[in-house]
Amino acid sequence: MKLTLKIWRQKNAKAKGIFATYKMEDVSHEMSFLEMLDALNKNLVGEDKDPVAFDHDCREGICGSCGMYINGHPHGPVPAVTTCHLSMRYFSDGDTIWIEPWRAKPFPVIKDLIVDRSAFDKIQIAGGFISVNAGAAPEANSILAEKKKSDKAFDSSICIGCGACVAACKNASAMLFVSAKISQFALLPQGRIEAKERVRAMVEKMDELGFGNCSNTGACEAECPKQIKLTNISRLNREYYKAY
């Protein structure tokens, strides 16, 4: 199929960016979105032009680095998939596809579609550690955890830190990400010892880095490729209130 790509090109965080237009032909429906961009870059390199810079690593929906805005949606218009898992079968011959980076002050553009998401790393570092014996594996029943709570902790821990929640929120809030990281420890006994210190430090770091407040629109949950739930934000608020 033939496609028209409108791709954001920006040399660095301080440069002025523009949308550049590229025509693609013979795009297979079997390609992933990133494979389509690979084909575009192969053409650009063959024409001695600067290829489009975009982030990727595992291409298995695990690392979260592939995030980009596609036709107005973080990771694209298909729910619960990362960009690397977005198939070109969801697009039609003759389509125009708009592709741009995350739009948030704490995520400055490095180049083209790549943004610096190290702010998320700083928030996690601020959360510190949990007090648990890291020696030999303990007996399975030595630390009891309620099944429902352990399941919820696991559901929260699958957040890949891609930043889609920030990109989707009109306030560029990181509440869904932070609440997922808080929840995965707050629900388990191993994470209770430093719970108050952790939630205070992570929320303060989130605010310090310039992320906005929760907009209460639910856009973050709707666009999250791992379907992290808004109930985590409620848990974050409760944990934060209990910490003071």
**How far apart are the C-alpha atoms of 67 and 75, rounded to whole Å?**
6
Average of per-residue pLDDT across 4-18: 95
Q: With cut-offs at 50, 70 and 90, classify the pLDDT of residue 139.
A: confident
For residues 65 and 56, is the Cβ–Cβ distance under 8 A?
yes
* Tokens describing residue 127: 């959360």
Q: Tell me: domain 117-132+141-242, CATH 1.10.1060.10, correct? A: yes
Q: Give me the residues paired with residue 69 across strands.
A: 74, 100
Q: With cut-offs at 50, 70 and 90, classify the pLDDT of residue 129.
A: confident
- Amino acid sitting at position 239: E
pLDDT digits (tens, 9 = 90+) for 44-81: 999 999 999 999 999 999 999 999 999 999 999 999 99
pLDDT digits (tens, 9 = 90+) for 164-197: 999 999 999 999 999 999 999 999 888 888 999 9
Class of domain 3-110: alpha beta
**How far apart are the C-alpha atoms of 164 and 101, rounded to whole Å?**
10
- Amino acid sitting at position 197: E
Which residues in the chain are classed under CATH 3.10.20.30? 3-110
Which residues in the chain are classed under CATH 1.10.1060.10? 117-132+141-242
How many residues comprise the chain?
A: 244
CB count within 10 Å of CB 168 equals 25
Print burial letters for 202-221: b (CB count within 10 Å at least 16), e (below 16). bbebbeebebbebeeeebbb
Say whether pLDDT at 203 is over 90: yes
